[in-house]
Amino acid sequence: MLGATTAAALLLASVQALARRREAAALRDYPPEGRITTVNGHRVHSITMGEGPDLVLIHGASGNTRDMTFGFAQSLADRYRVTIFDRPGLGHTDRLAEFDRLFEPQGEGPVEQARLLQAAAAALGIERPLVLGHSLGGAVALAWALEAPDKIAALVDVAGVAMPWPGELDPYYRLTGTALGGAVMPPFITALVPQSHIDATIESIFAPDPAPEGYAAAVGAPLTIRRRSIRANTRQVNTLRPRIVEMSARYNALTLPIEIVHGDADTIVPLNVHSIPLSQIAPHAHLTVLPGVGHMPHHTARADVAAAIDRAATRAGLR
């Protein structure tokens, strides 16, 4: 038993050391591209470009600002002042202190994330922006509208999580999102996951559309597989559904313009579970369904998403 314990300790020490080296390489290869703003003691990373009405972009699960700056934000900068945020625990934004505990399997909900990002936006002089959220970022954008309706002009929901879903999450989230799983699994993932698995995951996120050429190298996936980011991401996803149950009961009170864009081939956040019900509940929601499009329309159907942004801005009187 002593020999087995010693071997296990040596294995864990080796895995942790390799994880630290891979994390150092990730930070070297994918440093912050924008500015760091400190809000209530938390560092928030953002990138701003362009001129015009304020537009805030919020990325989805396992993402960071680089997803939005892979051509999408730049395509809007000719007519908007675009600000992209890293969500808590992802990219270069800190986790919220009350959730950053190794053996406490809680994640920042959409409300907590929205409060932090809205405060960061205010610190940057952004008072009443148009807010776009993709995937889990859609839930954060909805929370922003629910919690601070006077600090948002309009909302664009792109393949966003909006409603309680049937069934269970993938076992990866259910296990890694627990206290024990979150302590044990992330070091091994950080240290050992091969590039081939990262590439396959990206392809599955875009399916049935192909991932754009160069996306995998540009998006900064090594930032997402750091131990702290794995814990933040899995716990946010694993604790999301009860928060969505509470939020969805309030959607009928939303009075701002809402544009929803969703592909009917999205199997990650299904159209019929999330965006169709949202469009029927929120009083001023307009749904655009994209035939044959998967989960990443801001890359694969960019013109349709840009048109929805322009409609939202016009409806809000920003253009």
Judge whether 294 lies within some domain: yes
Give residue for tokens 């010693």.
Answer: 6
User: Is the pLDDT assigned to residue 5 strictly greater than 90?
Assistant: no
Average pLDDT over residues 99-111: 89
Asked whether residue 6 is assigned to any structural domain, the reply reads no
User: What is Dmax (Cα atoms) for the chain?
Assistant: 71
Q: What does the pLDDT average to over 93-118?
A: 93
Look up the CATH number of the domain holding residue 125: 3.40.50.1820
pLDDT for res 12: 80
* Edge-to-edge strands, sheet with 154-158: 35-39, 42-49, 81-85, 54-58, 130-134, 154-158, 258-263, 285-290
Q: What confidence score (pLDDT) does residue 2 get?
A: 61
On whether residue 4 sits in a domain, the answer given is: no
Q: What is the pLDDT of residue 8?
A: 65
The residues facing 288 across adjacent strands are: 261
Q: What is the CA radius of gyration of the chain?
A: 19
The whole-number average pLDDT for the span 157-180 is: 93
Per-residue pLDDT averaged across 137-159, rounded?
Answer: 98
**Does residue 311 form part of some domain?**
yes
Question: Does pLDDT of 4 surpass 80?
Answer: no
The fraction of the chain above a pLDDT of 90, given in percent, is 89
Instruction: Round to whole Å and give the CA distance between 134 and 319.
Output: 23
Could you tell me which residue, 10 or 268, shows the higher pLDDT?
Answer: 268
For the residues 7-35, what does the mean pLDDT come to?
92
Query: What mean pLDDT is predicted for residues 270-290?
Result: 98
Residue 6: what pLDDT?
73
Rounded to an integer, the average pLDDT of 135-157 is 98
Q: How confident is the model at residue 11 (pLDDT cuts 50, 70, 90)?
A: confident
Per-residue pLDDT tens over the stretch 189-219: 999 999 999 999 999 999 999 999 999 999 9
| pLDDT value of position 10 | 80
What HEC string does the chain produce? CHHHHHHHHHHHHHHHHHHHHHHHHHHHHCCCCCEEEEECCEEEEEEEECCCCEEEEECCCCCCHHHHCCCHHHHHCCCCEEEEECCCCCCCCCCCHHHCCCCCCCCCCHHHHHHHHHHHHHHCCCCCCEEEEECHHHHHHHHHHHHCHHHCCEEEEECCCCCCCCCCCCHHHHHHCCHHHHHHHHHHHHHHCCHHHHHHHHHHHHCCCCCCCCHHHHCCHHHHCCHHHHHHHHHHHHCHHHHHHHHHCCHHHCCCCEEEEEECCCCCCCCCCCHHHHHHHCCCEEEEEECCCCCCHHHHCHHHHHHHHHHHHHHCCCC
Q: Characterize the bridge pairing of strands 130-134 and 154-158.
A: parallel
- 12 found inside a domain: no
Question: What pLDDT is recorded for position 301?
Answer: 98
pLDDT greater than 80 at residue 1: no
Instruction: Classify each residue of 240-265 as buried b or exposed e, where b means 16 or more C-beta atoms within 10 Å of its C-beta.
Output: beebbeebbeebeebebbbbbbbbeb
Question: What is the extent of the structural domain holding 101?
Answer: 21-315
Q: Looking at the domain assignment, is residue 7 inside a domain?
A: no
Work out how many domains the chain is built from and give that number.
1
CA dihedral 149, 151, 153, 157 (to 10 degrees): -70
- Residue 5 belongs to a domain: no
Q: Are 266 and 91 in contact (CB under 8 A)?
A: no
Q: Is 1 part of any domain?
A: no
- For the chain, give the mean pLDDT: 95
Tell me what pLDDT residue 224 has: 96
Residue range 23-42: mean pLDDT, rounded: 97
Contact between 271 and 277 under an 8 Å Cβ cutoff? The reply is: no
